[in-house]
Structure 1
Amino acid sequence: MTASPSQKLLSPEEIAVRAGEQLSFLHLPEPGVFAERALRLRALAEGHAMRDFLLFVAELADAQHRALSAGVNLPLPTPDDVEAAARAGLPLLPADGPAPWPRAAVWRDALRGLLADLARHVAPGPAQETARQLAAASDEHLETQAGRLLSGVMLGLDLAAAPLIAAGLQLHWVRLVQQAAKAHAQGPIAPFGRTDDPTLCPCCGSRPVASVERLGGEGARYLACGLCAAQWHYVRVKCTHCQGTKGISLQSLVAQDEAVANTQPAVQAECCGECGHYLKLMHPARDNGLEPVADDLATVTLDLLVSESGLQRHGVNLLLLFGEPDEAPPPGREH
């Protein structure tokens, strides 16, 4: 079919925008999000250099799933809060910022329950001991570590305990988003919508862990939140840091196995030559079962490859942080 002389030919960018108008903007976390993550982690762990760590995170995800299934009622924003956030163009449940949605004390109780459950399911060793020590830590210590983790402050952050704190925060925000969505489903204003910064999660304001070409949406790209697990639509071939469309390129690992050398990689790094940042782009159609947080953990080698060229990672995975913070105080004591 050819275009008539008066018919305007759309650019790829315009086609993407129009496609976005016809797609669901937001996909909220499903009840089985942690169970699916655990399943994927175990599949990825087979023969992987990080096998032990991936299996540990799988146990952690299983504990998160059991805790989420138990159900805990949380303090929720009011209709006035929903309206205020919408008018300001801000996420309703920001995890960090000048005026973050307060972490209700119940998150610490849930974390301690999560840690106790985890300690019963992992073999005796450092991981089990860390879980038990953290469960016995003071409220002040937990809150301080959580604040540092959410704000990206590495100074004084206990890297050994950080994945456990992160798991508790993920559990809290997934539960919070699910309950807020249900509570305000019939309200005059949707609790979660487009915000002024399309690069941040419209639910909790966090940076994405990766972007995903969702199945069933003609390859539409969604950004995946590493905290609350929501996914929101974002135009393809557009930097997720500076929002520019120039200088975008894809990098991927070279397959060593001849059987897969000629296949398209399921995980790539979308790099921006303008601002020097990158975010992983994942293709579930090329690898059934792909899960953003799990597959991000399993492709750390790609991060190392891209960082060698001087690019900085835009996304954040709270379960695996990079850095060399000063020595952290033991659980229960802050300096």
Structure 2
Amino acid sequence: MSHSSSIEPNPAAVGRVQAPPFVRLPDPSRLFEARRERLEFLAQTSELAPYLRFIAGIAAAQSSIQEGLPEPDLPPDDALDRAREFGMPPLDRNRAGLDDVLSETLSRLFDAVAPVTKPAEAEAALERVRAATPDEMRSIVQGVLADAIPADALAEHVYGAAGLQVHFTRLAAKLDRSRLAKIGDGACPCCGGPPVSSLVVGWMEAEGTRYCSCALCGTLWNVVRVKCVLCGSGKGIGYQEIDGGPGTIKAECCDSCRGYVKIFYQQKDAALDPVADDIASLGLDLLLKDGEYRRGSLNPFLLGV
């Protein structure tokens, strides 16, 4: 059972830091390996252990394929300048194509995931994406980037999303964070993507502040606490969690838009991962699923929730 409150715990922490960094760019060489470690740890005590280990295998593949991959090209400087001037993300999801670098990234990922233990349905989906024509793969890429994934091809798009995470994480890591501008509370300043969850961090330079985590490129961006990251409202914000839990994972629910996004208190548990712990806390989503709030964040490994 869950309970709710209208006031977030530890309000004294809000505003403790005057000027926290606006963004923290991802480190592709570490991000996916750290996620694999977290997923394996969570699987030790979770009823979702088989699925968590499957996603851990995907994370291991995401990490392992990067060595030797060709470098992706950032947009030209004039395009980056225009994006900043007009408040647009420098990595335009709508214009991303199936170029040689992305094609090789996807191909390597599919090969690396092949030995991972997986359900029969996931095995069949992997065979389909490995055999996909360029046009079919282009359609999968476009579906993932547009957040428009057909219900009858969820598994295929999960693999596509995993490859796109690698590609866009490598692109985001090359950006100059000083040239990034705010797009909106619920939009990544690098790629414009939605958050997978948010974190209250314990970093020395930003302790007690909240960051959203991009579902695609892994960028973290600062958003004021006790505010809906979906609609921007600061009214009617409540928090629901599973009774008896450690108090580190909650659903931030908004009465204005009736949406929720999970918030993880990393200041209490530094090991919390925005993707891994979102999957492992599926029970919270199930408790809320038939209630008045809808899940407003995106996790490619929880498609259909």
1:192 aligns with 2:180: yes
Task: Identify which of structures 1 and 2 has the higher relative contact order when contacts are C-alpha pairs closer than 8 Å and 6+ apart.
Answer: 2
Equivalent residues of 1:149, 1:157 under 8 A apart: no
Given residue 194 of structure 1, which amino acid in structure 2 is its aligned partner?
A: K
Equivalent residues of 2:15, 2:209 under 8 A apart: no
Given residue 23 of structure 2, which amino acid in structure 1 is its aligned partner?
A: L
Deviations 1:141-185 (A, max 9, x none): 111122122222243651122221110110110111123x2xx58
1:224 aligns with 2:224: no
In structure 2, the residue matched to 1:149 is: 144
Superposed counterparts of 1:1-335, under 5 Å: 16=14, 19=17, 22-30=19-27, 31-96=29-94, 100-122=95-117, 125-155=120-150, 158-179=153-174, 181=175, 190-195=178-183, 197-216=184-203, 217-255=206-244, 264-322=246-304
Q: Secondary structure of 2:78's match?
A: helix
- Bigger-Rg structure (1/2): 1
Equivalent residues of 2:169, 2:218 under 8 A apart: yes
Aligned-partner Cα distance in 2 for 1:83–1:248: 36
Given residue 309 of structure 1, which amino acid in structure 2 is its aligned partner?
A: G
Aligned-partner Cα distance in 2 for 1:275–1:125: 38
Q: Secondary structure of 1:22's match?
A: coil
> Share of identical aligned residues, percent?
31
Given residue 211 of structure 1, which amino acid in structure 2 is its aligned partner?
A: S
TM-score (norm 2): 0.88
Q: Secondary structure of 1:238's match?
A: coil
Q: Secondary structure of 1:65's match?
A: helix
Aligned-partner Cα distance in 1 for 2:133–2:212: 35
Shift of 1:249: 0.6
In structure 1, the residue matched to 2:5 is: none
Shift of 1:103: 4.5
Aligned-partner Cα distance in 2 for 1:156–1:32: 32
Shift of 1:43: 0.8
Given residue 86 of structure 2, which amino acid in structure 1 is its aligned partner?
A: A
In structure 2, the residue matched to 1:258 is: none
Q: Secondary structure of 2:66's match?
A: helix
Aligned-partner Cα distance in 2 for 1:72–1:37: 23
Equivalent residues of 1:251, 1:268 under 8 A apart: yes
Q: How many residues align?
A: 293
Equivalent residues of 1:173, 1:227 under 8 A apart: yes
Unaligned 5+ segments in structure 2 are 1-9
Equivalent residues of 1:75, 1:104 under 8 A apart: no
Given residue 74 of structure 1, which amino acid in structure 2 is its aligned partner?
A: P
Aligned-partner Cα distance in 1 for 2:232–2:202: 24
Unaligned 5+ segments in structure 1 are 1-11, 256-260, 324-335
Equivalent residues of 1:116, 1:131 under 8 A apart: no
Aligned-partner Cα distance in 2 for 1:231–1:194: 12
TM-score (norm 1): 0.81
Given residue 146 of structure 1, which amino acid in structure 2 is its aligned partner?
A: V
Deviations 1:116-146 (A, max 9, x none): 1111344795534432331121111111122
Q: Which moved more, 1:125-134 or 1:221-230?
A: 125-134
Aligned-partner Cα distance in 2 for 1:45–1:85: 41
Q: Secondary structure of 1:91's match?
A: coil
Given residue 99 of structure 2, which amino acid in structure 1 is its aligned partner?
A: A
Deviations 1:240-285 (A, max 9, x none): 1111111111000123xxxxx6xx4211000011221111000123
Aligned-partner Cα distance in 1 for 2:79–2:71: 18
C-alpha RMSD of the superposition: 2.4
Aligned-partner Cα distance in 1 for 2:220–2:119: 36
Q: Secondary structure of 2:155's match?
A: coil
Q: Secondary structure of 1:200's match?
A: coil
Alpha carbons of structure 1 residues 74 and 154: separation in structure 2 relative to 1, 3 Å: closer
Aligned-partner Cα distance in 2 for 1:116–1:49: 28
